[in-house]
């Protein structure tokens, strides 16, 4: 599947993988990047940069840099459990979102989302926290880390999972392989509308680009276990020095 850089990661139900260090995903120059699974093609828009540091990272200036795909065939089902995983860093912590990954509608209301939050969000995400797993009628996994802690981490390995161990969905966030927080949703089901946007550092209707670097993003059509989260982190920790 073209993921030789991460040969020891969990692969069951992996439905999206973008890796700036893998030449099959990005050559190191040009305005096109490719997912390593299926045929996802992303246009690098408005001057997305690249650094070879730590093997390779996409660089976003926080103004309007983004990567956008017109392929909306992510193998995702309503009521599914899922995992979003990324190695990234945020250079600044303004009172606004910074959207690392979004798949769904042209807004956050019915999409799979991984982002840094703005201040004062009323669903438990604190200033500078992570806004995770926003699905349909709002499913959240949140972190109580404050903004300075997140910003000062530099590159970090983030994993968010949404699972349904009993009657409602549960969101969890792991940072560098360690569980940081777990949040119960009140929802027992959800419906994801037909997608119209698929982006990296792209908040669609809301201008929410990342000011920082994104090294890799992976999405699974199931919730990884704590052991699998640690497995994936261990596969990357030496490469990124995390």
- The pLDDT tens digits for 90-111 are 887 666 778 888 887 765 556 7
Question: Which residues form the domain of 98?
Answer: 4-240
pTM of the model: 0.87
Q: How many domains does the chain have?
A: 1
- What's the rounded mean pLDDT across residues 53-58? 95
- Residue identified by tokens 């549960």 is 170
Residue 208 belongs to domain with CATH number: 2.60.120.200
Return all residues near 159 (Cβ < 8 A) that are at least 6 apart.
83, 84, 85, 173, 174, 177, 224, 229, 232, 233
Distance separating alpha carbons of residues 77 and 144, to the nearest angstrom: 29
> What pLDDT, in 10s, does the model give residues 143-196?
444 444 555 568 999 888 888 889 888 888 888 998 887 877 777 877 777 788
């Amino acid at each position: 599947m073209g993921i030789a850089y991460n040969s020891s990661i969990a692969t069951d139900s992996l439905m999206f993988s973008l890796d700036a260090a893998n030449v099959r995903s990005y050559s190191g120059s040009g305005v096109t990047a490719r997912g390593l699974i299926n045929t996802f093609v992303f246009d690098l828009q408005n001057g997305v940069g690249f650094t070879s540091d730590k093997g390779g990272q996409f660089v976003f200036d926080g103004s309007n840099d983004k990567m956008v795909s017109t392929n909306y065939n992510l193998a995702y089902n309503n009521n599914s459990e899922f995992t979003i995983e990324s190695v990234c860093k945020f250079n600044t912590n303004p009172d606004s979102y910074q959207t690392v990954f979004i798949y769904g509608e042209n807004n956050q209301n019915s999409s799979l989302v991984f982002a840094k939050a703005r201040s004062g969000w009323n669903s438990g995400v604190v200033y500078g926290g992570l806004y995770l797993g926003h699905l349909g009628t709002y499913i959240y996994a949140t972190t109580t880390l404050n903004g300075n802690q997140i910003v000062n981490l530099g590159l970090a390995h983030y994993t968010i999972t949404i699972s349904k161990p009993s009657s409602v969905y549960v969101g969890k966030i792991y940072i560098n392989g360690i569980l940081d927080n777990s949040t119960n949703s009140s929802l027992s089901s959800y419906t994801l509308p037909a997608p119209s946007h698929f982006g990296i550092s792209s908040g669609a209707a809301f201008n929410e680009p990342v000011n920082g670097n994104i090294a890799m993003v992976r999405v699974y059509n199931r919730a990884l276990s704590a052991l699998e989260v640690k497995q994936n982190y261990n596969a990357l920790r030496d490469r990124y020095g995390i």
